[in-house]
Chains A and B, each alone.
Chain A
Amino acid sequence: MTSPGDATPVRPPPSFSPGVPRGASKTRYPDERRNSSTPSLDPDLVESRVGSSSPTPPLSATTSELPIRSASPYARSLRSSTPQLARSSLGSPVEGRLDAAEDIRSLIIRSFSPVVGVYASVDTDDLVRQKGFKGGFWELIRPFGENVPGKVVIRDSIGSSRPWEDFGVRFVDLGGSSPTLYDSNTARTSPLAQVEEVLEKQLKSANDPLSGSVRPNDLLNFPSTSPLYKDYLRQLLSIASATPHETFRHPVASIIVISSRNTSPLESLRQLYADTSNGDRRLPEWIHPEYLRYYVLVHDEDQDDIAESTKLYDQMKRHFGLHCHLLRLRSNQCVVTDDDSVQVPECEWLSPAERLSNKSEPLVDLDTDGLPYLFESDVMAIKGFIRELVAQSVIPHMENRVAVWNDQVASRRRGISGRFMSMSRRWAGFGSSSRSSFTSGGGVSGNYDGAHGFYKPDTPEAILRKMADFAFMLRDWKLSASTYELLRSDYGNDKAWKYHAGAHEMCAVSMLLNPLAMPAKTKREDVDQMIETACYSYLTRCSDGPDGLRCLTLALELLKARGGSAIESATRWAMRAIDLGLVGPVGQGLLSDRISVCYASRNAIPGVRWGTRRRKAGMWSVLAADLWLRLGMPALASASLEEAERLYADVLEGDGVFLMPDMQTFIDNLRHAVKVEYLEARGLDTSDETIIADPLGTEETSEQLDKRMNRRSLIASPLDSAGLIAAQVTRDDDNPADDDFERA
């Protein structure tokens, strides 16, 4: 994902003085300009991008028949399942685990990408609709923004620059009929319920033996992160829409687009600008109005004259400065059979609501998954455009803002006088000379608009938050952590609880993301405390479930990535999320599996046998299996159960029988129920009959299969398999007194 090699700063240290003209930033990337100033990109960059654009989840070849093996009656003794141990050693396990951790980390980092608004003129949208994109220009470029091709160099606040492979921006539509920027209130159901719904649909389609393209095993592939869980995380992180309390979803820039068909291009550009700055397309007043504007001219290759467009483009450059681009697209629709057709990549960051609305349609055509095609030249042009936009305008803009705000606002607060000011503000209720509006009450700055629940965007609190968010998105976690730290107490004093929660959450997250801050014990306690506070503020004071769950999940994943004793904290947060009822049944199963994975990833202390958490991991896998079974997903249940057997195998001595009688009974029953369910689910699938018939052999339980149509509760009714009971009785009959006592 990221190249950790910290290059020495090649460029001279930047001048952070705010007086530097904006245009000067263009010249800071001489080497990149050579690569990407032409619309068509350097071919090998594109190639590397295309080559890596289809990440297929690694799938160990043995998983396809595993559930049957675990469900077979011969696997009653846990030790007999030794072949399963071989699975984890198929690919070198250490490498896989590291990959998974990096993967999740990259996912989390990418979920906090800068947002770029798109506002296209009517003629542009018409041109793009002609190409088969109903949503207009925004829909055309959206998938390409999620991963900017090639490395993007970002310079942090101390002037060292670092290339990132996985940088991306999120495009949102400012002009279209669907306001994707801030529509959280219009949703009929809560986002968490939507996430759950999407997952259920996904599982249903995977569970259906007839559709058959995706096996549940692919979805739940132990021991690395299961794709299903990753998908869950991704959806959770893409719920967020623009809110006052954090600025991640506020546009950092907006692009204003016209096409060569426009008859009065400069006029319409002005009109579009006016619309977004003070017209009907204006953003809500809690969004900072000064963001970067970028002007794009779309040239129609098929119909219009390039000479005309170039002339117009030169004119635009004269008017609007350097933040302009000429994008050359063909207006004809591309179909699969065309020579140079390229399928448009799928959007990675769809919010759950969008997923729900998308999921309903593509039942008709199974081969093409509903994704349109584009000419290769168009794809190249769009990628080049986005790279230029990001590398030469958006990132320099953000770097510049961070530097300016750091200089003007943050350093004043950080210095000794700033501390004194905030102290005196808190204790004496006077002394802040810079604040004109000052309400009564010690410690309240008066900048917080309690009635509407936000800070005005030009107050120091809002600017600092924006600066910290910018630094976070630019991956300068040290700066962002220290800035959030500054803000935490301010928000608390003002009783701006949502801001308070957000600052605590992001402070903890940036501390955990910062690779240099090693997890000293006190540090981790700080982090735990911050997450605790954030969670309390989100849930109890603001009753904001999605953000609370996001906070807990981020804590879980990042602490897990830290390893060692941080695992305990990680699992604690996961259990908290389950306890608080933030997740639905599917989420509960996924989190239980995740807790098991967390515990399993804890290694023994070198040289001795203890220090692992195998028993805990096994227990959570069993619980997950129970949950999956109750949800009617025997395939997932059997995967979890099998994982539990693998985990317990190390712990249980001798013949692999649990020494505690109740546990053994429960596991036996569970195993049996999973087997029955699994075979029932597969019963329809005639192609697999041979596989099913094989493990069954002469086992007497097979005759039950066709009689029972629905699942019986595995705990309430002890299954009437004579063999199991008999085995149980022989093991139990030496302590009847105990059982009697417990039932009393």
Chain B
Amino acid sequence: MSYYFTILSPTDVPLFNLAFGTSKSGGDGIARFRFPDTAQYMNQFIIHSSLDIVEEAQWMNSNMYLKHIDTYPPASSYISAFLTPSGARFLLLHQPPQLPSTTDRTGSGGTGTGSSSLLASSFSGGVGSTRASSSSVAANPTSPQTEEAVRQFMTEVYENYVKTVMSPFYRQGMEIKSPVFRGKVSAAGRKWL
């Protein structure tokens, strides 16, 4: 499972970005997205497009944690969202790992660079992988266990976020550059995801 975590200001300005991989079940914590290296912009496109759903879901739901709100099937990317009282949005994109067969296809199509290989990375692969390893918590993005783990992660990040933005050197809407915060988020990712 690979993760891409973003904090967006109420006006959609990205305040913080972090990509990481799972540390559970022997993962090394390095993100391996299905896109080739040249197409990493897709994560941002997917996150950006899911803001449509966030805007809708935030009025329908009284909780801060909005749970899994959106899916992008071509890359089997799942988006979970968390809303802070100040209007900042935490968005977590998670993507289950690919089956070897589809990896091969992406590799061969990798010379084409970009989203055709991305589109070709098949949904059936995603289904297969979730089915194959649905017993492990992190591999199935829609299971209740995953929801719970993401919720824990979000809550911990939120705590740290509050501490960070209360820093006297931080103005609202500024990008969060604090290495401490970054470290804390990575630690939360290692701990829960």
Q: How far is it, in angstroms, between the C-alpha of A580 and the C-alpha of B17 when the chains are bound?
A: 32
Contact B114 A630 (CB under 8 A): yes
Contact A662 B51 (CB under 8 A): no
Contact A662 B40 (CB under 8 A): yes
Q: Interface SS of chain B: helix, strand, loop or mixed?
A: helix
Of the stretches A174-182, A435-443, A618-626, the one at the interface is: A618-626
- CB within 8 Å for A653 and B11 given contacts A614-B52, A735-B175: yes
In the complex, what residue of chain B is closest to A662 when comparing beta carbons? B41
| Residue among A613, A660, A713 making CB contact with B44, cutoff 8 Å | A660
Of the stretches B117-125, B137-145, B149-157, B160-168, the one at the interface is: B117-125
Number of cross-chain contacts by CB at 8 Å: 106
For chain B, the bracket of interface size reads 35 or more
| Residue among A610, A660, A666, A716 making CB contact with B14, cutoff 8 Å | A660
Q: Does B45 contact A (CB under 8 A)?
A: yes
Task: Give the shortest distance, in Å, between A584 (CB) and chain B (any CB).
Answer: 11
Q: How far is it, in angstroms, between the C-alpha of A609 and the C-alpha of B56 when the chains are bound?
A: 9
Contact A610 B55 (CB under 8 A): yes
| Residue among A588, A716, A735 making CB contact with B38, cutoff 8 Å | A716
Contact A611 B112 (CB under 8 A): no
The 8 A CB mask of A606-646 against B (1 = contact, 0 = none) is 00111111111011001100110010000000000000000
Q: How far is it, in angstroms, between the C-alpha of A704 and the C-alpha of B47 when the chains are bound?
A: 35
- CB within 8 Å for A619 and B55 given contacts A580-B123, A626-B114: no
Contact B119 A588 (CB under 8 A): yes
- Residues 1-49 of B contacting A (Cβ, < 8 Å): 11-14, 16-19, 30, 38-41, 43-49
Contact B115 A575 (CB under 8 A): no
Contact A659 B41 (CB under 8 A): no
Q: How far is it, in angstroms, between the C-alpha of A715 and the C-alpha of B115 when the chains are bound?
A: 10
Of the stretches A448-456, A475-483, A736-744, the one at the interface is: A736-744
Q: How far is it, in angstroms, between the C-alpha of A738 and the C-alpha of B4 when the chains are bound?
A: 12
Q: Does A734 contact B (CB under 8 A)?
A: yes
Q: Does A572 contact B (CB under 8 A)?
A: yes
Q: Does B59 contact A (CB under 8 A)?
A: yes
Q: Does B101 contact A (CB under 8 A)?
A: no
The 8 A CB mask of B157-193 against A (1 = contact, 0 = none) is 0000000000000000001010100100000000000
The 8 A CB mask of A661-675 against B (1 = contact, 0 = none) is 111011000000000
In the complex, what residue of chain B is closest to A652 when comparing beta carbons? B12
Q: How far is it, in angstroms, between the C-alpha of A713 and the C-alpha of B115 when the chains are bound?
A: 12
In the complex, what residue of chain B is closest to A611 when comparing beta carbons? B56
Count, chain A residues at interface, CB 8 A: 45
Contact A734 B175 (CB under 8 A): yes
- Residues 38-94 of B contacting A (Cβ, < 8 Å): 38-41, 43-52, 55-56, 59, 73-74
Contact A623 B12 (CB under 8 A): no
Contacts of A735 in B (CB 8 A): 17, 175, 177
Q: Does B116 contact A (CB under 8 A)?
A: yes
Contacts of A663 in B (CB 8 A): 41, 44-45, 48
In the complex, what residue of chain B is closest to A572 when comparing beta carbons? B73
Contacts of B13 in A (CB 8 A): 659
Q: Does B113 contact A (CB under 8 A)?
A: yes
| Residue among B112, B114, B123 making CB contact with A576, cutoff 8 Å | B123
In the complex, what residue of chain B is closest to A616 when comparing beta carbons? B49
Contacts of A580 in B (CB 8 A): 122-124
Q: Does A578 contact B (CB under 8 A)?
A: yes
Q: How far is it, in angstroms, between the C-alpha of A741 and the C-alpha of B50 when the chains are bound?
A: 23
In the complex, what residue of chain B is closest to A618 when comparing beta carbons? B49
Contacts of B175 in A (CB 8 A): 734-735
- Residues 711-744 of A contacting B (Cβ, < 8 Å): 713-716, 734-735, 737-738, 741-742, 744
CB<8 Å pairs between A and B, sample of 18: A575-B74, A579-B123, A580-B123, A581-B120, A608-B59, A610-B52, A611-B55, A616-B49, A616-B52, A658-B48, A659-B12, A715-B38, A715-B113, A716-B38, A734-B175, A738-B17, A741-B19, A742-B17
- Contact surface of B with A, Cβ cutoff 8 Å: 11-14, 16-19, 30, 38-41, 43-52, 55-56, 59, 73-74, 112-116, 119-120, 122-124, 175, 177, 179, 182
The 10 A-B pairs at the shortest CB distance, nearest first, are namely A579-B123, A662-B41, A610-B55, A660-B44, A616-B49, A666-B41, A619-B49, A615-B49, A715-B38, A715-B113
Q: Known pairs A585-B116, A663-B41. 6 more at Cβ < 8 A?
A: A576-B73, A578-B119, A653-B12, A659-B14, A663-B45, A713-B112
